[in-house]
């Protein structure tokens, strides 16, 4: 009695593997984006609405588009002085009078991207 085993290489394996990796990266990107949106502080909703994920040629990107202040939210800011850019003084509703500068005490960090990225997901 004898036995034979045949191994046949499916020449479409590269495309199948690429599709599986892309599908997995989209799933992972959606999870990271959802966590970042959930963790982000909300004042106007603009920060959450600007979050995205995309997959291109085996590369996953998760981030924030068109919101200048995302880094201040993520990392915070130290004390700093605010001065007017286009006027001679600063004024806002509720201020008693215009001022030449404001000593801002800083902003505490409210991380949302890093915790979403570093969260352990499935696996071992």
Predicted pLDDT of residue 123: 58
CA gap 120, 4 in Å, rounded? 44
Q: 64 CB contacts (<8 Å, ≥6 apart)?
A: 47, 50, 51, 52, 70, 113
- What are the distances in angstroms from CA 6 to CA 9, 14, 116? 10, 20, 46
Please say whether the beta carbons of 118 and 109 come within 8 A.
Answer: no
What's the first-to-final CA gap in the chain, in angstroms?
Answer: 44
Enter the pTM of the model.
Answer: 0.78
Q: Find residue 54's DSSP bridge partners.
A: 61
Phi-psi region of 33 (alpha: psi -120 to 50; beta: other; left: phi over 0): alpha
Query: What are the per-10-residue average pLDDT scores of the chain (124 residues)?
Result: 83 90 96 97 96 95 96 96 92 90 95 94 64
CA gap 77, 84 in Å, rounded? 19
Predicted pLDDT of residue 118: 93
């Amino acid at each position: 009695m004898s036995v034979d085993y045949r191994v046949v290489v499916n020449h479409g394996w590269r495309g199948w593997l690429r599709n599986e990796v892309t599908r997995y990266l989209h799933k992972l990107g959606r999870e990271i984006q959802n966590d970042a949106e959930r963790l982000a502080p909300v004042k106007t909703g603009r920060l959450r609405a600007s979050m995205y994920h995309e997959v291109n040629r085996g590369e996953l990107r998760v981030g924030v588009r068109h919101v200048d202040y995302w880094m201040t939210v993520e990392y915070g800011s130290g004390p700093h002085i605010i001065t007017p850019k286009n006027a001679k003084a600063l004024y806002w509703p509720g201020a008693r009078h215009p001022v030449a500068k404001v000593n801002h005490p800083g902003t505490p960090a409210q991380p949302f991207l890093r915790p979403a990225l570093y969260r352990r997901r499935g696996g071992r």
